[in-house]
Amino acid sequence: MQAERALVAARGIHKHYGGITALAGVSLEVLEGEIHALVGENGAGKSTLVKIMTGAQKPDSGDVLVRGKAVSPLTPEKARELGIGAVYQEPSLVPALTVLDNVFLGSERRRMMGFLDQRTMSLEARAALDKIGAHVRLDSEVSGLSVADRQLVEIARALVLKASVLIFDEPSAVLSGRELARIFDVIRELRQAGLGILYISHRLAEIFELADRTTVLKDGRVVASRPVYGLSMADLIRSMVGRDIRQRPARTLKPADSIALEVRDLELGTDREPINLKLHSREVLGLAGLVGSGRSRLANALGGVRPASAGTVLRNGAPIQLKSPAAAVRAGIAVIPEDRKREGLILEHSVRENVGLASLKEVSTMGFVGVGEEKRLSSEAVRVFGIRPKDTERSAWTLSGGNQQKVVLGKWLIRSPSPEVVILDEPTRGVDVGAKYEIYQLIDELVERGSAVLLISSELPEVIAMSDRILVMSAGQIVGELKAGEFSEERILHLAVLGRQSYGDPGDGAAGQRSEGQI
Amino acid sequence: MSTRSATARLGLPQLAESSYWVRRHARALLAWMLFALLFLMSTALSDTFRSPDVVLETFKGTTFVGMAAAAEFFVVIGGGIDLSIGSVATLSGMAAAVIMGGRNGNIALAIVVSLGIGVVVGAINGLLVNWVKISPFVATFGMLYILQGIAYTYSANPIGQAAPGFYAIYVSTVAGVPVLLLTMGIFWILCWYVARQTAFGKHLYAVGGEREAARLAGVRTSRVSFASYVICSVIAAAAGLLELTQSYVGSPDIGATLLLTTITAVVIGGVSLFGGEGSVLGVLGGALVLGFLSEFFVSVQVDAFYQELIEGLIILALLGIYRQRLKT
């Protein structure tokens, strides 16, 4: 390829975390004066690749080449010296330091005796900020800046370092509308100035707006790398989807007619349309959408973690108040959060104690926890859910991701009676393949016991394989519903990316609609 | 990019910027306002406090806690905590007193050994925290007991004697101004300079505020944190020497209550115990508040036992105010 012309290139990068393969032989290069978009679904390996190209993490094998020369090992300092700048999502600035301090953090200009050359630094920083049109004061603390201004400060930081490559890690995950448009303008100007830009995103509409070339990552592999000119949205979506999922027998059980949970006009934010949905008993309702589309916010509202500002929730037809997690549990709703390490488990405690926590009332007599009862319950969870190792006295942190997730699930599901409504937020994130299927079986088992399941997942094959019905969320709203038989990854992705307006046959000229694709 | 517009923008600090400065230093200013209030109340309520000598003596009385607070400041800003400062001061004072044995000729050696104790202890703390990865609380708590144990094993009673040329620092004056206060003035300016005007200082704030961000920016985070522990212990050892100019003998007990007073001063001064936030100016204000608070109680003849109660109330009130400010 054109590796010798590349400002920076990755060559055959492999990276594993535990049993999970994040990158499997990824190669990619960023040329002078081009905007190269790196796209892929969540978990495709984009962030890992960025971390490796900026020296924040080391690859298991493969090289990073700067102007054709392999640099190994690449450390963050080395990357900066070689002109690779990065604009991360937060936190990569120090909030308590000023704009000036942050711009020169790690590369302060010094005079004799450790004196800082404040004057030179101020001039350089001001020039860099002016160049990108950032009207922030040098002595403002970063904690008081908007997210867009923070990104501009990061760009200025790269400029004073004379970076020749700038990597943007999903700015659209934290910016929107005018602020994002402003960053786009800056990025185009930087391209004009001859910098190479690597722009990471999972929002396809942006690629057409901004990029010259795009590389699609899927499951840690490059599945496409081509110029954006002549590429259609449909092509791009087609290359992103189509992941294999092992065939598993479909549930024979059909959803009941009774409605276990109904949500009426639930307000999750001021500028968003209210949410309405019905969840039947013995149903798995898939909730698909991009990260930040409001799915977790909905889960938190239903779990009483962050109560909604207005609206009604009915359980079996009777209105309930969801003001706290305890209230949700009393109403028979269990939320299994995305961040299991922080919200789902007490890592230092044993499997037994974690399982017992959700059933403290049941295992305690007069306020004393019955260890024997806890043991019985946790042994049962270990047996039923196949938690390994089988030792219930192990601390939760010693377990693998998949087994930790099984403990979290187990703690709610082993309760008797088991919760009637279970909300699962990304239940298989960071879980190896084997454990994934066991978790799917658990979901089936839940349904067989009569629970209703709301399954939030960014993995399209998973939502499709598990759900009886799928709702798609975009920008805080439910933009579409797919019934069994209508499921396809392309349909879901179209709804998630383009919102309600474009819902229709996924094949027809999606590229033409990209102007509506503001998310 | 035009350099001209950039220079024009820089200009001189304008009046409007002063309000900005106030906002950034609100916590430190609050501590100083409290100090001013205490000072005024003391002079209003007590005749003795109007004598300049008494006021100077009170200032001198704040220097020991002040130095220890400055020591703690560096570690806390870097996101750590050092519980061993009191025992470092104790050991340093005892070592110096023993080495001096009342002889002027041994002063230099005594100072070198004392500060050397600071370097070694700080280096061990820094190693334990940054490379052995023991939590700062536990690592320095262990160090506190080890050092205090060494001190008591060596002598359970006051020991050694300061040399006359050494304790002269405490009593001598230059043009009416105590040498001690001049030294402290230089010391605090130096601390401010290191914290605010050097790359090390910026890195320290960055490591305490957002360690991962600092690492990504190319700051050598472990080294910076390590250095903060060494600086802390060296200043604590120097504080032990300072105390010796006043007590004449090396006592194994001087550090016992120092730790809590120090942390109180740091907190009153507006330093966040989570790291990355706070100023030298604030810490100095906090130390002065504590020093003058006890004088105030003496001057208005209130039982000293109330002092702890009042200190507690001040801390809670200030933290409540800081917290409110954070929300807005």
d(CA A282, CA A257): 9
Tell me how many helices (H) and strands (E) chain A has. 17, 22
Which domains does chain A carry? 1-47+57-83+164-170+183-231 (3.40.50.300), 92-161 (no CATH), 260-351+415-516 (3.40.50.300)
Nearest to A92 among B17, B205, B216 (CB): B216
Residue owning tokens 């350099």: B3
d(CA A518, CA A206): 8
d(CA A167, CA A155): 10
Which candidate, B298, B261, B269, places its Cα nearest to that of B34? Answer: B269
State whether the Cα torsion B43-B49-B50-B56 is positive or negative. Answer: negative
Say if the Cβ atoms of A101 and B215 lie within 8 Å. Answer: no
Segment B194-221, tens digit of pLDDT? 998 888 999 999 999 888 888 888 888 9
d(CA B132, CA B139): 10
Q: Hey, is A16 helix, strand or coil?
A: strand
pLDDT at position A516 is 35
Rounded to 10°, the helix B26-45/B305-327 angle is: 150
Backbone angles phi, psi at B32, to 5 degrees: -70, -35
- Amino acid identity of A22? A
ipTM value for the complex: 0.79
Say if the Cβ atoms of A97 and B209 lie within 8 Å. Answer: yes
Would you report the helix, strand and coil content of chain B in percent, each value rounded to 5? 75, 0, 20
Q: Where does residue A499 fall: left (phi above 0), alpha (psi -120 to 50 degrees), or beta otherwise?
A: left
Rounded to 10°, the helix B280-299/B305-327 angle is: 150
Question: Which tokens hold the place of B157?
Answer: 């009673």
Decide if B209 touches A, using CB distance below 8 A.
Answer: yes
Residues of A with CB under 8 A from a CB of B: 54, 56, 76-77, 80, 86, 88, 91-97, 101, 104-108, 110, 114-116, 122-123, 126-128, 130-131, 137, 139-141, 157
Nearest-neighbour CA in chain A from B129: distance (Å): 21
Decide if B10 touches A, using CB distance below 8 A.
Answer: yes
d(CA A77, CA A84): 10
* More confident position, A131 or B324: A131
Spell out the residues 6+ positions from residue A117 whose beta carbon is closer than 8 angstroms to its own: A109, A110, A111
- How many C-beta atoms lie closer than 10 Å to residue B114's C-beta? 25
Q: Tens place of pLDDT for every residue, chain A, 519 residues?
A: 444 578 999 999 999 876 667 888 999 999 999 999 998 776 678 888 988 998 888 999 999 999 888 888 888 888 888 989 888 875 688 888 889 999 998 888 887 776 788 888 999 999 989 888 888 889 888 888 888 888 889 889 888 888 899 999 888 776 767 778 888 988 999 999 889 999 998 777 788 889 999 998 887 888 888 898 888 877 777 777 655 555 566 777 788 888 999 999 988 876 678 889 999 999 999 999 877 778 888 888 898 888 888 889 999 888 998 888 888 888 888 888 877 777 778 888 888 888 888 777 777 777 777 788 888 888 888 887 778 778 888 888 887 777 888 888 888 777 767 788 999 988 887 676 667 777 888 888 888 888 899 999 888 888 888 899 999 988 888 888 999 888 888 888 888 877 754 444 433 333 333 333 333
Domain boundary assignment for chain B: 49-327
List the single residue in A with minimal CA-CA distance to B199.
A108
Which candidate, A141, A144, A137, places its Cα nearest to that of B278? Answer: A141
Question: Which tokens hold the place of B246?
Answer: 């006043």
Say if the Cβ atoms of A97 and B202 lie within 8 Å. Answer: yes
Nearest to A126 among B10, B209, B219 (CB): B10
> Number of residue pairs across A and B with CB atoms under 8 Å?
97
Which candidate, A150, A176, A179, A154, places its Cα nearest to that of A166? Answer: A154
Nearest to A106 among B210, B219, B276 (CB): B219
Question: Which tokens hold the place of A95?
Answer: 């909030």
Nearest to B217 among A106, A110, A130 (CB): A106
d(CA A32, CA A5): 8
Nearest to A115 among B6, B24, B197 (CB): B197
Where helices occur in A97-176 by DSSP H, the ranges are 99-103, 118-131, 147-160
- How many C-beta atoms lie closer than 10 Å to residue A340's C-beta? 23
Radius of gyration of chain A (CA): 25
Beta bridge partners of B59: none
State whether the Cα torsion B24-B28-B31-B36 is positive or negative. Answer: negative
Rounded to 5°, the CA angle B44-B50-B54 comes to 125
Q: Which helix (H) or strand (E) holds A196?
A: strand A196-201
Per-residue burial over A24-45, b = 16 or more CB atoms within 10 Å of its CB, e = otherwise: eebbbbbbeebbbbbbbbebbb
CATH class of B49-327: mainly alpha
Say if the Cβ atoms of A94 and B198 lie within 8 Å. Answer: no
Beta bridge partners of A69: A66
pLDDT at position A19 is 63
- Amino acid identity of B69? A
C-alpha distances out from residue B12 to A98, B4, B9, B15, Å: 18, 15, 9, 9
d(CA B30, CA B38): 12
pTM of the shown model: 0.74
User: Which segments within A59-100 are labelled E, that is strand?
Assistant: 61-66, 69-71, 84-87
Cβ B255 vs Cβ B117: under 8 Å: no
Residue owning tokens 């592999």: A221
Backbone angles phi, psi at B208, to 5 degrees: -70, -30
d(CA B95, CA B87): 12
Residue owning tokens 């037994």: A352
Rounded to 5°, the CA angle A442-A444-A445 comes to 65
Note if the bond before A417 is cis, omega within 30 degrees.
yes
Cβ A519 vs Cβ A499: under 8 Å: yes
Work out whether strand A69-71 and strand A61-66 pair parallel, antiparallel, or are unpaired. antiparallel
pLDDT at position B18 is 56
Nearest-neighbour CA in chain B from A59: distance (Å): 17
Q: Hey, is A470 helix, strand or coil?
A: strand
Segment B272-293, tens digit of pLDDT? 888 888 999 999 999 999 888 8
Nearest-neighbour CA in chain B from A486: distance (Å): 45
- Amino acid identity of A124? E
pLDDT at residue B82 is higher than 80:
yes
Which candidate, B124, B122, B82, places its Cα nearest to that of B233? Answer: B122
Backbone angles phi, psi at A312, to 5 degrees: -125, 140
- Amino acid identity of B56? L
pLDDT at position A229 is 86
pLDDT at position A242 is 59
Say if the Cβ atoms of B206 and A94 lie within 8 Å. Answer: yes
Per DSSP, A274 falls in state P
Cβ A84 vs Cβ A167: under 8 Å: yes
Per DSSP, A340 falls in state I
Beta bridge partners of A483: A469
d(CA A247, CA B62): 76
Decide if B14 touches A, using CB distance below 8 A.
Answer: no
Tell me how many helices (H) and strands (E) chain B has. 16, 2
- How many C-beta atoms lie closer than 10 Å to residue A226's C-beta? 14
Decide if B216 touches A, using CB distance below 8 A.
Answer: yes
Per DSSP, B288 falls in state H
Contacts of B197 in chain A (CB under 8 A): 115-116
pLDDT at position A74 is 87
Per-residue burial over B115-132, b = 16 or more CB atoms within 10 Å of its CB, e = otherwise: bebbeebbebbbebbbee
